[in-house]
Amino acid sequence: MMVKKILLIVLIIIVTVGVGFEIYFLRIINQKGEGEKKSIIIEQGQSTKEIAQNLKKENLITSAFVFEYYAKLRAELIQVGIYWLSPSQSIKEILEILAAGDVSEYQVTIPEGWRLTQIDEQLAEKGIISAGQLVSIASAEEGYLFPDTYRFLPDSKPEAVLKIFKDNFAKRTAGLNLSRENLILASIVEREAKFDEDRAKIAGVYLNRLEKGMKLEADPTIQYAKGSWDPIKQSDYKTNSSTYNTYLYEGLPPGPICNPGLKSIEAVLSPEKNGFLFFFHTSDGRAVYSTTAEEHAENLKKYQ
């Protein structure tokens, strides 16, 4: 009899605690506060726990634990982006916004060495523009779309996006006295250099070649002409369908082949003064330099 009473008491306690937690849980997920809207960035790879803690830190929710528990209960996948959220929104409402990907802004990082078509594709995937919109108005702006981290509104006008890129380029290169020829060469260095310490050396090689009237013979210029950074075939070296082929045409190509970062630009403006006229990359991406064609051939045999 005593055992039954104890079990009954335990059961009542469990039910009471369960009901109490449910009441508390429902109250918290629907609770709304007061305060100004705040910008919250949800980054790739962030855990639900980290997101909940950030929301609590910004006083947008009252309980990180309840948010995390509710998100896992709903099995919601929170979308990457920038959101403007308010304490006057409940945990339930905030989770719905984050799970729907109803972003206020997108944060996009453009890597060094990307070409216009790659940038267009990235922005289209994010829903910032429609595919092809940036390409259609910025074909003459290759090289001036400065690689950086940007914040864009969804469904932006391509003209507004282009202005943001160009304004940032002007800001980041202010005072450098950068010519278009410098930018073209920097774009080639960007695609050629695998390590920072090689940028100024490679710039020096190409400048030496230009000074001697030699062809640049830069593989990335052929890749640009082909429209892909994929490895080139032997037959590609002989195609004369594009003046970007620096194996056939002397001097710099008609324009930049990508959008270089500041390090490559600075390497061209302050190249290493050396007598090197040739270089190639080893399997680990390191560059091997030489001053004569004979030395270059010997190095190729040695390393390849």
pLDDT recorded at residue 298: 94
pLDDT at 22 exceeding the cut of 80:
no
pLDDT recorded at residue 252: 98
- Give Cα 279 to chain centroid, integer Å: 29
Whole-number Å distance between alpha carbons of 150 and 157 = 15
Question: How many CB atoms neighbour CB 303 within 10 A?
Answer: 12
pLDDT recorded at residue 25: 61
Q: Is domain 28-100 classified as CATH 2.40.50.140?
A: no
pLDDT at 191 exceeding the cut of 70:
yes
Model confidence, pTM: 0.81
DSSP annotation of 234: G
Class of domain 106-172: alpha beta
Strand ranges in 217-276 using DSSP code E only, listed in sequence order: none
pLDDT recorded at residue 163: 97
Show contacts of 156-165: CB within 8 Å, 24+ apart.
Answer: 156/128, 156/129, 157/129, 158/129, 158/133, 158/134, 161/123, 161/128, 161/129, 161/134, 162/134, 162/137, 162/138, 165/141
pLDDT at 118 exceeding the cut of 60:
yes
Domain residue spans of the chain: 28-100, 106-172, 180-303
- The reply to whether 106-172 shares the fold of 28-100 is yes
pLDDT recorded at residue 26: 75
- Which alpha helices (DSSP H) does 193-292 contain, by range? 196-211, 219-226, 262-269
pLDDT recorded at residue 55: 94
pLDDT at 251 exceeding the cut of 90:
yes
